[in-house]
Amino acid sequence: EVSSHALDQGRVNGVRFNTAAFTNLTRDHLDYHGTMEAYGAAKARLLASPGLAHRVINVDDPFGARLAEEGSTAGLTVTTRAAAALPRGVPFVRAARVTPDPGGLIIEVQSSFGGAQLPLRLMGEFNVDNALTVLAVLLAWNIPLADAARALSLSRAASGRMEVFGGRGRTPLAIVDYAHTPDALANALRAARLHCRG
């Protein structure tokens, strides 16, 4: 992961990246960048790195769609949840269906690499985009879909970040998150609600 600050300040100019991935552009770091345009331009620098072999872009994000349209399709893989038109001939990874349950998410994946069922012990809708991005990177690296899906299904949340305890069978579900601002707490509760009944 490279921060937009590091990209803007040229702190990674000497790093040779093989693969770059873009999930979204949200209203973060505007205190530093000033505008969404400047923030997007900083993030776009990573995807324009010299010698980059693979680029994975979430085209559900409007800025991501623009990056995919404006850049070269060489080494490009796109991710999406929609059945939207994808760039012609570009490899893709799509979440055809997402089913939340008390233990996490089940993602039905359709892709130009084949289809797979991806069970994740990760909570929250935001993890769908993250999982699709990681899966697309692994596929771009020529990891077979079944192996990539199996490896990804073993992922767990970082300690204290929407961390799941229980939730299977008769064991009550408990979710631990270190949210320390009102906005972070609201987002954590919204993410948890997706996995609960009642």
The pLDDT assigned to 169 comes to: 80
CATH of 4-193, one of 3.40.1190.10, 3.40.50.300, 2.40.50.180, 3.30.300.20: 3.40.1190.10
The pLDDT assigned to 26 comes to: 75
- DSSP class per residue in the chain: ---HHHHHTTTTTT---SEEEE----S-SHHHH-SHHHHHHHHHHHHT-TT--EEEEETTSHHHHHHHHHS--TTEEEEESS-----TT--EEEEEEEEEETTEEEEEEEETTEEEEEEEB--STHHHHHHHHHHHHHHHTT--HHHHHHHHHT-BPPTTSSEEEE-STTSPEEEE----SHHHHHHHHHHHHTT---
C-alpha angle with apex 193: 188 to 195, nearest 5 degrees?
A: 110
Domain boundaries, the chain: 4-193
- From the CB of residue 32, how many other CB atoms can be counted at a distance below 10 Å? 14
The pLDDT assigned to 106 comes to: 96
The pLDDT assigned to 27 comes to: 64
The pLDDT assigned to 189 comes to: 92
Mean pLDDT by 10 residues, the chain (198 residues): 83 92 78 76 86 93 89 84 75 94 91 96 90 97 98 93 84 88 86 82
The pLDDT assigned to 198 comes to: 64
